[in-house]
Amino acid sequence: MRKLVMVGKDLDSEVLRDRVVAAIGVFDGLHLGHRALISEAKRMSDEIGSPVLLMTFHPHPRVLTGDPEGHERLLTPPDEKMRLAEDYGASYFLSMDFTRELAATSPEDFVRDYLVRGVNVAHVVCGFNFKFGYRGKGTPTDLQRWGAEQGFGVTVVPPFEIRGETVSSTRIRSALKAGHVGEAALLLGRPYCLYGQVERGDGRGRRIGIATSNISVPPDKLLPGNGVYAAYARFLRAGEIISLPSVVNIGTRPTFGGEGVRVECHIPGFQGVLYGLPMQVFLLEKIRDEFLFPDASSLGEQVLADIEFLRSGMGPDGAWRKAGSFTLPGGYDRMLQANLP
């Protein structure tokens, strides 16, 4: 995987030697629908002998167009997106700065300046609802017409459906905000991942026998709704990736009068120091809402009950038992090994 950077309308690296098959879109989440699109780009790549370029935009276009709706936080920030794109078949990754200048570019100029002159496309693969150019006036039909005029092919990928509904980033966001991480995993094709370095907290959990790792999640990563979740925690120990069942709390810690949302992970039975290490938690199912308890002791008793509930296999969908050997894209291993984020 090679990361490309575009400055203005020019790549700041050597010009691509070959024409490319450009899979183009925002690709927030790199969900199953996106993977179907990239698979089509890979099929076309094999057919015409041109490498796949995943062409995306950052920040999310909605942030700049005045309708952010929380899109400052992403399902997959750029580094995570790039690593997953490599797993799914892209050879090149280009995250274009979505600036006011780019937003003001007409659809026809976008095709000429960025697709034809910028990355030298041989073929473009986009989704059925892809929009581009000033105020999103450009459509896949326009792209097909200009492609025929300027010498590149276009494939428009139809909706990818699960349970009779189109898989979309919006649908996944809604599921996560409601705490439905199992539904989000179904649409993503993998459990939703939070990650960051483990930081020192205030030590309250340790004092009640429930030691937690406080994960400093990047500010541009979307957090699910507050609550307590069954999860698997992953981290490096002696160069080996360790994966252990865990309980994750996302919330404000109302029992302790906390302010601001934190992500805290408790790994039952784990003994060791994780401060300063990168950690990933893959959320499987929501156990319960975050409650205000009368005292710390009552909270500790509830967490122990949560753990026993999950160990028994009676937890939500038997989360720990069913997910003990789930398969992840290799990009998450590389994130840990690169000590990211």
Domain chopping of the chain, boundaries: 2-162, 192-337
* Residue 278 confidence (pLDDT) above 90: yes
Work out the average pLDDT over 50-79: 87
Cα distances (angstroms) measured from residue 236 to each of 202, 212, 217, 331, 340: 24, 17, 17, 15, 12
DSSP class of 256: G
Q: Which residue(s) pair with 341 in the sheet?
A: none
What is the pLDDT of the chain when averaged over all its residues?
87
Q: Which of the four pLDDT bands, split at 50, 70 and 90, describes residue 303?
A: confident
Question: Which pLDDT belongs to residue 112?
Answer: 95
Which regions of 207-328 does DSSP assign to beta strands (E)?
Answer: 213-216, 227-237, 240-251, 262-266, 278-288
> Residue 67 has what pLDDT?
66
Reported as a single tens digit per residue, the pLDDT across 72-121 is 899 999 999 999 999 999 999 999 999 999 999 999 999 999 999 999 99
Superfamily of domain 192-337: Riboflavin kinase-like (2.40.30.30)
Amino acid identity for residue 47 in this structure: E
Find out if CATH 3.90.1640.30 is the number for domain 2-162.
no
Amino acid 256: pLDDT: 60
Both structure tokens of 266: 């408790």
> pTM score, two decimals?
0.91
pLDDT at 183: 95
Asked if residue 207 has pLDDT above 80, the reply is no
Residue 192: pLDDT band with limits 50, 70, 90? very high
Q: For residues 72 and 77, what is the distance between their CA atoms, to the nearest angstrom?
A: 10
**Using one digit for the tens of pLDDT, what is the confidence trace for 157-186?**
999 999 999 999 999 999 999 999 999 999
Measured between alpha carbons, how far is residue 310 from residues 93, 180, 239, 306, 307 in Å? 40, 17, 29, 6, 5
| pLDDT tens profile 232-258 | 999 998 889 999 989 999 997 755 666
Separation of first and last alpha carbons in the chain: 18
Q: Tell which residue, 162, 165, 164, 215, has the closest CA to residue 185.
A: 162
